[in-house]
Every structure is written in C-alpha cells, then in structure tokens.
Chains A and B, each alone.
Chain A
Amino acid sequence: MLEILNLLKQYGSLVAVDYLNLKIEKGEMAGLVGPDGAGKTTLMRILSAILPPTSGSARVAGYDIIRDAEKLKEKIGYMPQRFGLYEDLTVLENLNFFSELYQLSKKQKDEKYKEVFNFSQLEPFKDFLAGNLSGGMKQKLALSCVLLHTPEVLLLDEPTRGVDPLSRRDFWRILFEQQKRGITIFISTSYMDEAERCQKVAFLDKGRLIAYGTPKKLKEIMNEFLYEISCDKTREAKSVLEKVDGISGISIFGEKIHFTLREEKLLANIKNKLKDTGVEILNLRRIEPSLEDIFIFLKQDKIEIRNG
C-alpha cells in the first residue's frame, strides 16, 4: 500500500531524508517516530505528492508520487502538521468545500456527513467558525475533511501535537475505527505512548530510518540489560554512571535514571561506586524497555537496523 525506495531529499547541503526504504502493508497502522528535525514532515509531504524528492521513488495506494501525483491525491487523505482548513469558514462550510473538491454525490455526502458527525461529535458545532474550535476539535474536523472521499491511505503529520490528553484518546479511537475498515494509516508522532499503539513503528533520526518493526520486535533489538535506578542525588548518580565501563545508554526520566548494562555482574560494582560518592539508592531494578528506551539506545549506539 505504501512503498518507499531509496528516497532522498536534500535542501542544499542538508539531508532531510537519507536514502530511506520502507514498506507498509494494506490495512496496517504504522507510526513514524523521531525528534523534531528528524525529517518526519518532509517524508509525509513527499508521500503526499506535494514535495518532490531529490531522488528515489515511492508508491502510495498504487500510484507513483511523481508520475501519478494527481491520481494519488484522490486516494489519500493528508493532514498537514499545521491546521490546513479555513478558520473563517464554519465547520459545515469546510466539509462542504472538501466534499465538492472530492466530487462527492449528494448521496455520498449525506452518508459521509452522518459518519463523520457520528465519530467526531461535531454536529452541534457545525455552524461554528473553524477558528473558534478547540485544538482537539480542529484536528477532528481536519481528519473528517480528509476522510470524506474514503481514502485508501491516511498520511497524518503529528495530528495530536499540542492536543489535550482526552482529545488525543478520542482521536486515536477514531483512527482505530478507520483502520478496522481497511484504511492504511501512516502517522507521525513525537509521543511514544502513541507509537506503542501502532502495529509497526519506524524510528527516524536525522533523515535515516534507524529501525522498523512491531513494537515487540523492536524491543528485542536491545540485547542488553536495562535498569532503572531511583536515588536521592540524581545528578551526582548520573555523573558516576557515566564513568563506569560497560554502561552504554544513560538517560534521565524525571527522578529516575535508565541505563543499559552489557553484563549483569557489573551491577555490584556500580552499587559500591554510588555508595562511595554518598548517593543513597532508593530503588534499583531491571525493567522491560519501552520504545523510548529503544529509541535512545539506538541513537546512542548508532546501530542501524534494516527492515524486518
């Protein structure tokens, strides 16, 4: 449904997408994860056929992004990161405009409006100007507009950025409903909990795909032991850990520190060192890695894992 081949996008000397290869099957929901500036938006724009790549190719919904750009646009629903609807038009006027652009018949329109009002709960607000809606409602309206023509592929660029947690959950509920109908979804996000809900996750860093697979499979990549430590002097503890041989990834999660250890037996040594510097360990345990741990681990070790 979505296939990317050796895709390269350069802006001058800056490489935004670095020879990327990726395949998403029909009906899958895939998450695109990476820090700001990783190239997520660029990739989404290229796949929506509104930004030409420097080289390489991609097919979305069976159409080539360069040769069949306009046909492709009839089969996809693209939600840009920035709200792309008209704030000075009402909810209904926005929906009407997009259903005309996608040339829906009267009957299709009636059916679709019923459906989108059903999941978006926007019907009571249909005469509100889109600019007056809350962030969460705006995103639901934007999603509604790109679902009107029943696309085969949804390309969503950080749709839940800056949206409150309740609306985020609502938004995801709608996405799962759509996925059940067989729509393929490619969604970029900077929230790891959202990525965990996807069937496949692609890690993007500096334009390169550093890992792709199911969340479960990605977690198996980490062949080291992950520990979580909580102590009274987090910062001192971190600087001690940094000097220990055999520790690779150290990252602070609030009051806690996560670190990976190559061998389990090094643990006693670490405990002693921390005690010597006057750090009191409150809790130290081995944990299951989250996607965030994996991402940080992969970034630090510069390990590159190919598809599969």
Chain B
Amino acid sequence: MNLKRLLAVSYKESLQILRDIRVLIMAFAIPLILLILFGYAVTLDINNLPLGVYDQDNSRESKEFVESLVQSGYFSIKDYVKNYKELETLLEKSEIKIALVIPRNFSAEVKSGNKIEVQTILDGSDANTASIGSGYLSGGLLLFYSKIAQADNTPAIEGKIRIWYNQDLKSRNFIIPGLIAVIMMIIGALLTSLVIAREWERGTMEQLIATPVKSSELIFGKLIPYFLIGMIDLLMAVVLARLLFKVPFQGDYLFMFLASGIFLLGALGIGMFISILTKSQQLAYQMAMLTSFLPAYILSGFIFPIFNMPLFLRIITHIVPARYYIKILQGIFLKGNGLQILGGEILLLSIFALMMLTLANLIFKKRLPE
C-alpha cells in the first residue's frame, strides 16, 4: 500500500463529500435529528397519563387517594364524571387512557383496615401505555395503603427497592447510548454502501481501475473520511447526551472512543462489502438497510429487550454486532465498565471488523463486470 495514493483517494473522496449536500445531510443532519428526537420525544417513561375519575364514594379518603395519584406525577386528572356512561365516552374519544372507579364503600374499607379495591378500565388499544399505567396505578394504591397503615401505627412489611446504575430509571439514559450505535450504522453501512457503487454508476470506476491504484488503497482511502465523519458524530452525540440530556457517564471517554472506532470499522466494512458486491447505489442502499441498519435498530436491544424475543430471534441477535456495541456503550455510560468486563465484546467486534475489511478487500477486483 502506498500512503501517497491512499491519501490522494481520501482527499478526493472528502472533496466529493463536502460538495454533495445529500451526503452531508445523511452524515450530520440525520444523526442530529435522531438525537434530538430520541432525546426529547421518544421516551418509554409515562408521565401525565390522562385519567378519568368516577368517585362514587366522594369522601375525604377517596379524595386523598386521587390526590396522591396526581402527586406522583404519573397521572393527570382529565375529568371527574358522574356515571359510567361518561367514562365510556371519554375512553372512546381517547381523551383518557385509564378510567378509575372508586366504590361507594371506599372510605369505610379504609377505616376498617380491610383490603381496598378500586375498579380500573384501561384503553387496551395502546397496550404498552395501558399496562404501564395499570402498574403505576396499583403501585399508587399500595403506597396509599401503606401510608394509611403507618398513620394507624399498624406495622406493615415494606419492601425497599434500590435501583442501581440508572437510579432515575430514565429510559433516555439507555436510549441515547443505544442510539449512538444506530447512528454509527447509518454512517458505516448506509452511507458507505454508496461509495463504490457511485463510482461504477458514474463511469469513473472504469478510469480508476485502468490506473495503477491498488484495491486496498482505494478501499481504505475511501474509508478514512467516513471514519472521521462517524467519529465526529460520536463526539456530537456524547456532547449532546452529557450537556443537553444529562445522561450520566461513569466510564472512560478514551475507552469509549476506542471501542466505537472498532465498531465503526466493522460497520464501514459491511458498507464497503455491500457496495462492491452490488455496483448499484439503490440496491446497495436497500441491502445495507436490511442487513445492517434494521438489525441494529430492532435486534440489538436498543429499544426492544432481547430477552422478550422468541428463541430464534434471540439466536439471530448474537450475530448482530450492534448488540455487543450497545452493551459496551450502556456499560461505559451507566456502569463505568472497563476492558475487564467488556473485553469479550471488544474482541468480538474486533474480529468482526477484521473480517469485513478483509472480505471487502478480497472481493474487490480491478475488473469490469462481465
């Protein structure tokens, strides 16, 4: 490999990137938009769940109970109604997600220390929200119950739960590190899948392969600018995560950049491999989408927990590199893990990167397709 020729290819590629607004948008604007979107809008935590209340009891105790729910921050009262019919209408119009019916004997039961029962009706058309909401509601009830028990000085058994690593249980704190993996895949696979195919489509490859440039100079020369873009995006993501979204960072920055570099090389390798294989931008893009981006999004544990998946999908997740990278990132961000704990994942990603880059170099031939 000749360094001068390698750098010439890198420089040429960089000029082309800087002059192509579509590439720039994909390289910098889309990662930024994703970060903002996921940082602000997409959250798996539920706050201010709209609640409809039909309080048949209308006692001091029942009002206290409803008040305690509102205080928790998880619910906001949309409306107090006088009958079931009104509750039904609210649910149908999707104005409330949960209907709460407090029975007539609520205060009496509270006073007598009996088991309290309330009726909840959930809007199952949004199953996720409904189940989380119902969980919060029973939690609220339990809390209310224990408060009363304490007031009565009745000894009650209380389980104290301590949460480690992500104490606030904010989903943003594990989504942002996962999103970094998705962004790296966009740069590595989606963007890079176009680079060789573009030269074939524009007819510049025919001129290029008739020069003494070596395949490896061409491949690595083209990778360098995209590697830099990926690293800039990573820096951008980390800065936003820390400053704007206040995601905790327990680990070592240098270690994170090194691990990300290894993952990025693998992702670039896949993109390059696909680009060489297909020789057409559109096909390359679709293939990169299917084989790299979607698995990184869906099968990596980024949003959908892997342990929830059926067995065959769980097996497939083992060959999704993003799975290991997300584990590394979440480990570094939230737990402060280092090489001792994440060594296995780092090794797997290194093997993957080496394999993809070697493969790309092997299949690239300075020949025209037949």
Q: Which residues of chain A have a CB within 8 Å of any CB of chain B?
A: 11, 45, 48-52, 69-70, 73-74, 76, 78-80, 82-89, 93, 96-98, 100-103, 142, 145
Contact = CB atoms under 8 A, between A and B. Distances in A.
Given A85-B204, A86-B12, A86-B204, A48 B5 contact: no
A84 B204 contact: yes
A213 B12 CA distance: 43
A93 B208 CA distance: 15
A51 B367 contact: yes
Contacts of A96: 8
Given A82-B203, A100-B4, A100-B8, A76 B210 contact: yes
A153 B106 CA distance: 99
Nearest to A73: B212
Q: Dominant SS at the B interface?
A: helix
B2 interface: yes
Contacts of A82: 203, 206
Contacts, number: 74
Residue in B12, B16, B202, B203 whose Cβ sees the most chain A Cβ within 10 Å: B12
Q: What is the size category of the interface that chain B forms with chain A?
A: 20 to 34
A85 B367 contact: no
Nearest to B370: A11
B212 A93 contact: no
Contacts of B214: 70
A143 to B, nearest CB: 12
Interface of B: 2, 4-5, 7-8, 11-12, 15-16, 19-20, 202-204, 206-214, 366-368, 370
> Top 8 closest A-B pairs, CB basis?
A84-B207, A100-B8, A82-B203, A78-B210, A80-B206, A74-B212, A48-B210, A101-B211
B110 to A, nearest CB: 75
Contact of A89 (B15, B209, B366): B15
B12 A84 contact: no
Contact of B206 (A73, A76, A84, A98): A84
Contacts of A11: 370
A85 B208 CA distance: 9
B211 A73 contact: yes
A78 B214 CA distance: 17
Contact of A73 (B8, B12, B19, B210): B210
21 contacts: A11-B370, A50-B206, A50-B366, A70-B214, A73-B211, A73-B212, A80-B207, A80-B210, A84-B203, A85-B204, A86-B12, A88-B15, A88-B20, A89-B15, A97-B8, A97-B11, A97-B12, A100-B8, A101-B211, A142-B207, A145-B207
A103 B212 CA distance: 10
Nearest to B12: A97
A223 B210 CA distance: 42
Contacts of B204: 84-86
B210 A50 contact: yes
A83 B7 CA distance: 24
B255 to A, nearest CB: 36
A145 B204 CA distance: 13
Residue in B203, B204, B210 whose Cβ sees the most chain A Cβ within 10 Å: B210
Contacts of B15: 88-89, 93
Contacts of B12: 86, 89, 93, 97
Given A100-B4, A101-B213, A83 B203 contact: yes
Contacts of B5: 100-101, 103
Contacts of B16: 86, 88-89
B21 to A, nearest CB: 11
Contacts of A78: 207, 210
Given A73-B212, A80-B207, A102-B212, 14 more contacts: A45-B368, A48-B210, A50-B366, A70-B212, A70-B366, A74-B212, A80-B203, A85-B204, A86-B204, A88-B16, A96-B8, A101-B212, A103-B5, A142-B207
